[in-house]
Amino acid sequence: MKTKEESMTAERQVAIVSGGSRGLGRAIVADLLRRDMIVAAFSRSKTPFIEQRLAADPRVESFHWASIDGSDPQALAGFARDVLRRYGRIDALVNNMATLGDGLLTMMRDADIHAQVSMNLESAIFLTRACLKGMLPQGSGSIVNISSVNALRGQTGVSVYSATKAALIGLTKSLAVEVGPAGIRINCVAPGYFDSDMTGGFTDDQRARIARRTPLRRLGTVEDVANLVWFLLSPEAAFITAQVIAVDGGFVG
């Protein structure tokens, strides 16, 4: 027997977004909701954006949120199972959750290294595995991994972060081959510098330097990235898989 949520949303696509409470995750959640998708998101804490969305949808017909520790594989699997139980399907996954720890590798603490590997890479692997258990029986699905241009070019002080983001590219390409025959697409977006919490501490001079090294002469916006995420999830990208697309304005590193 279908749940109430399943009956009311049988024709709508269901997307899971990790780290959907602020920054890029918030923009992706808002964009997918605007495009009439059902969105299930999680983060550690409830931000004003989450409170606003929950207040606008108290019956959880279009938006579901939970406080989840992204480093806990069992919690991630439980979240995916709950979404499947509520809505009867999982059509899309955006692995957006990440933490940035900068500093020279020789000076980094063990705990900081483990935290980045766990949050940026392992969480994506465990959540993807959990969501595939819903996608495979459907014979359809689309996954977008949020990497970084730091995975494509070297930069001082972000070696561990870059390593985790480069690993997401490897995950994307191999998994696309693995699950492609089942009708599931896997792609990767590599954002460059864009206005976010991570760049909020940049000085005006730093921002101007980045803009000068960018052919389009500006930093990106979260909307620039969210638009590409939507395209890769949409039917218009039905024959696109195993790709890594940079959204960096042509930045010259």
pLDDT digits 0-9 by tens, 187-202: 999 998 887 666 666 7
User: How many other C-beta atoms can be found within 10 angstroms of the C-beta atom of residue 16?
Assistant: 28
Q: pLDDT at position 1, please?
A: 46
- pLDDT for 194 equals 81
| The two structure tokens encoding residue 226 | 């969210």
Beta-bridge partners for 40: 16, 64
pLDDT number for residue 31? 97
pTM of the entire structure? 0.92
**Per-run averaged pLDDT (10 residues), the chain, 253 residues:** 51 94 95 97 95 87 95 97 97 94 88 95 98 97 96 88 97 98 98 74 78 85 96 98 94 76
Output the pLDDT for position 180. 98
pLDDT for the residue numbered 197 = 65
Q: In what order do the strands lie in the sheet with 63-67?
A: 63-67, 38-43, 14-18, 92-95, 141-146, 184-191, 244-247
Q: Which domains does the chain carry?
A: 4-247 (3.40.50.720)
Helices 159-179 and 123-138, packing angle to 10 deg: 20
Q: Tell me which residues are annotated as active site.
A: 161
pLDDT at 78: 98
Q: Could you tell me where the DSSP H helices lie in 204-245?
A: 204-212, 222-233
| Long-range contacts at 234-241 (CB < 8 A, ≥ 24 apart) | 237/142, 237/185, 237/187, 238/185, 240/185, 240/187, 241/176, 241/180, 241/185, 241/186, 241/187
